[in-house]
Structure 1
């Protein structure tokens, strides 16, 4: 199911299919489908921009915690705006998905990407945000650790 969800979210992100079309196809009673089609339909999320973000979304929905806003721009003053992967307004918590591709050279030299990332995090923290970072291994293999970190930061 997670593979189908990841592919569906990718198609949505790349605008290869519209959300409504995908949703209707997954729920079409005339097609052979299992209960998994409905689960995928319920989890489709056009705001997930990577397989890691899809896995995080899958976990968040499964835990039944407050749903975050996604891909939200935050004004940090002085013309600095930063976009959060997952954001909870009430407790002022941001969850950032740190995939390896970010440091692969596609987005520039890894050391520069890391420097910009740290500056961005400092700006957000000065505005009162708690920034949590997570990698694939933790979300896949230690999801309860991530849930505990989110709960400790005030996400319920």
Structure 2
């Protein structure tokens, strides 16, 4: 069943996201930017949390989450412990939403067109997994490059 595979992959990578955030040796480095790196690891983390809470929680799970995408990139200096808690809460939303979806639900059209065209829910969830992996790699690179004194 693809739902179990999707749950496993999101669990793996959201836990990896939490590990990446906790791996910054200098907490302030989470928020550093550089002339060639315009998004900090902290802001990318907030973006992933907002993205998944919106597209899983609000759209599919009717969680009531209200996304403010602009704040995902403008907020700064959120404590690492709070980011870790947000990641854990996001994982819970992803899993509880997936637990509500049947194979038939995955084959249905996703309720909105975030990519500008119609697609199945399954297709969009796979897209979201790719989006998570993309930014997870950026956070890893950001940490290795800018987490220095």
TM-score range, shorter chain: under 0.3
Point out which structure has higher relative CO (alpha carbons under 8 A, 6+ apart): 2
TM-score (norm 1): 0.26
> Larger Cα Rg: Structure 1 or Structure 2?
1
Q: Which has the higher strand share?
A: 1
Q: Which has the higher helix share?
A: 2
